[in-house]
Every structure is written in structure tokens, then in C-alpha cells.
Amino acid sequence: MDRHSTLILSILLNALTTTFFSPVYAGTFDREFDITWGGGRGKVLNNGELLTLSLDRASGSGFQSKKESLFGKIDMQIKLVPGNSAGTVTTYYLKSKGDTWDEIDFEFLGNLTGDPYVMHTNVYTQGKGDREQQFHLWFDPTADFHTYSVLWNHHHIVFLVDGIPIRQFKNLEHRRIPYPKMQPMRLYSSLWNADQWATRGGLVKTDWSKAPFTASYRNFRADACVSYTGKPSCPAGSPRWLSHRFDLTAENNMRVVQRKFMVYNYCTDSKRFPQGFPKECGIH
């Protein structure tokens, strides 16, 4: 076992000892989601246990959840497009409605065979994003399914991969930094062509001879405050994710992962922010 594998195994074992999230709804894809575009390129299979999205030269495809949530712990297992996926983007995100929307993003930017995917993350508040952090993964995300999760409560938003926190966006409203807390969000996912920018800034184009490109989804789980007519209904009792905060060990483990696998951080991009970094970048 190499050093990276040993490191991640250690962090994962620690994460598992403190994991306490149980799903409130984990229905089949045909019951929990609508395929919203793609002209038949999105398919629900295996009695609703598997969903696939496909992309060809004519169109990509996408789906969205039937329910909206205001805070929750959302898990989805995804197997990304294998082989030469350059130019393709697989998205998985929470988003509210309107012109001043909130959004919590995972995007997976394809690459040439043998080169790593770039996992792109972002947080939008009141229609403003520009908070990108990007990572390489410590495994091949096309060889098997892996779990990508969002924990969202009043205190922070946490991005997790296989139960390992990789990013945190804190609620810093006391420092006049907007935080998503008022707008229910729906879960979306899509597979589409973005070869004008997705791979090496658009230098590598989609190889349509490899189409159709396919991403697969299974084991959706959500422990969330589901929004009905704008009013959230939270799980019975007091779910522990609702009050979850990082302790020092969890913060340190996340920083170890970031030092090893983060490849872009908006908070260190001085060329992009010559007048000074966003306010949250200087707060720890």
C-alpha cells in the first residue's frame, strides 16, 4: 500500500468512527427523480435501483429530484465516464430557484485516458459564486461507484468523498458573508459537452468517435428537511447532522487531504483577485 492509500485509509477509518447519518428517504430513482432532458438518453434501470445518463453529439441528459430540501445530508454513488472523457462534464449539485439562487456544486471534468479527472467544487450564495476549489481524486472514479456527499446545516456546508471531508464552507454571516439558509434546493445532475473549457482550458476537444459517453448512479440517500410549499419538514427527533460541526481533528484531517489533492483554490489565486481575496479566505 502506497503512502497516499495509507493516509486516506487512516482518515477514512477516523471518519467512519464518527459517522452517524442514517437516511430518511432512500427511494428508487423512478420515485425520487424526474429525467428532465436528453430525449431518452437518461434511463432508469434495474427496477429503479440504477440511473444512467448518456451524451452523444446530438445531446446530453439530466435529471432532478422531485423534492426540495432546506438543510440535510445528501449521498449519491456515481461511476463516471470511463476512458477518454475529455470535454465532458458530469455535474451533481443542489440549487434553489430564482435570480438570486443558492447552489452547492460538484462537477467532474473529464480528461484523456490515463489522466486524472478534475473534481470541481463551488458554492453560490444569492446568485454569486466564484468560490472554486478543485481536486484530483485518490482513486479511479470510473472503475467503480464512489459516494459523493453534501452535508448542509446552519453551521457549515461540507463536501465529502467516500465519507472523507474535502471542503468546508462555514456560515460567516456574523462577518457579513452571505450563507445559504433561506432557499430550499433541489438536487440536479447532468452529463453534457463542455469542450470549449472543460479539459485543459478547452485545448482538448471531445472525441465523438468514443460516444456515447455514460455516467451511472445508484444508492441515493437523503437525511434532510424536505420543503413542502416553502416550509421545511425535518426528520423526527433531532438528527445529529443538523447540529454537526468540525472538531479540531476533523479540521486537520480535511487540511491533510487538501494539501495532498487540491489542485486549485480561489483563495490563493492572486491573479484573479488583484484587489484582494474574498473576505472568507482570511477567516479560519
Q: Which residues are catalytic, by number? A: 103, 107
Distance CA 60, CA 110 (A): 14
Dihedrals phi, psi of 12, to nearest 5 degrees: -65, -40
The four Cα atoms 73, 131, 88, 40 give a dihedral, to 10 degrees, of 50
